[in-house]
Amino acid sequence: MSRAVKGFEAKRIIGRGTNKRTVRVQLLSTAVGEKRGVPFIVKGDFDPSKVKKKTKFYGNYLPSDFEVFGLPCKIVFRVDKVPNAKGKNFFQITHISFDCPKGVQSSDTPIDLLRTLAVQASGFVAEAENGWWWVIGHATTPSDTEQDFVGARPTGADLYKEIGRLYSQADYGEKYKAIARAYGRTLPWAYKHTARGAKEYPQLFKGYKQKPKRKKGRKTK
Q: Is residue 101 exposed (0-12), middle (13-18) or buried (19+ Cβ within 10 Å)?
A: exposed
Compute the distance between CA of residue 33 and CA of residue 60 in angstroms, rounded to an integer: 18
Q: Is residue 4 part of a domain?
A: no
Comparing 56-65, 85-94, 138-147, 162-171, the range with the smallest average pLDDT is 85-94
Into how many domains does the chain fold? 2
Of 134, 151, 168, which residue is a domain's last?
151
- In DSSP terms, 137 is beta-bridged to 125
Does one domain contain both 50 and 136? yes
Which candidate, 48, 66, 70, 67, places its Cα nearest to that of 58? 48
Helix axes 156-169, 187-200, angle to 10 degrees: 110
pLDDT at position 26 is: 94
Does one domain contain both 93 and 190? no
Are 184 and 14 in contact by the 8 Å Cβ rule? The answer is yes
Q: Is residue 217 part of a domain?
A: no
Does one domain contain both 139 and 161? no
Does one domain contain both 110 and 191? no
Residue 171: give the domain boundaries.
154-209
Query: % helix / strand / coil in the chain, to the nearest 5?
Result: 30, 30, 40
pLDDT at position 218 is: 55
Letter string b/e over residues 6-31, b meaning 16 or more CB atoms within 10 A of that residue's CB = eebbbebebeeeeeeeebbbbbbebb
Give the distance from CA 110 to its chain's centroid.
8
202 pLDDT tier (thresholds 50, 70, 90) = confident
Average the pLDDT over 176-202 and give the result. Answer: 81
pLDDT at position 121 is: 93
Q: Is residue 215 part of a domain?
A: no
Q: Is residue 220 part of a domain?
A: no
Does one domain contain both 67 and 104? yes
Q: What does the pLDDT look like over 20-74, one tens digit per residue?
A: 889 999 998 654 433 344 567 776 678 888 889 999 988 888 888 999 999 888 8
Parallel, antiparallel, or unpaired: how do β-strands 64-69 and 74-83 relate?
A: antiparallel
pLDDT at position 11 is: 94
Does one domain contain both 110 and 124? yes
pLDDT at position 168 is: 86
16 phi, psi to nearest 5 deg? -140, 160
Average the pLDDT over 148-172 and give the result. Answer: 81
Compute the distance between CA of residue 124 and CA of residue 122 in angstroms, rounded to an integer: 7
Does one domain contain both 144 and 162? no
Does one domain contain both 105 and 194? no
pLDDT at position 76 is: 92
Does one domain contain both 119 and 168? no
Q: Is residue 214 part of a domain?
A: no
What average pLDDT does the chain have? Answer: 79
Q: How many CB atoms sit inside 10 A of residue 71's CB?
A: 20
What share of the chain in percent tops pLDDT 90?
A: 15
pTM: 0.66
Is the model more confident about 103 or about 78?
A: 78
Is the model more confident about 179 or about 75?
A: 75
Is the model more confident about 219 or about 104?
A: 104
Compute the distance between CA of residue 28 and CA of residue 9 in angstroms, rounded to an integer: 9
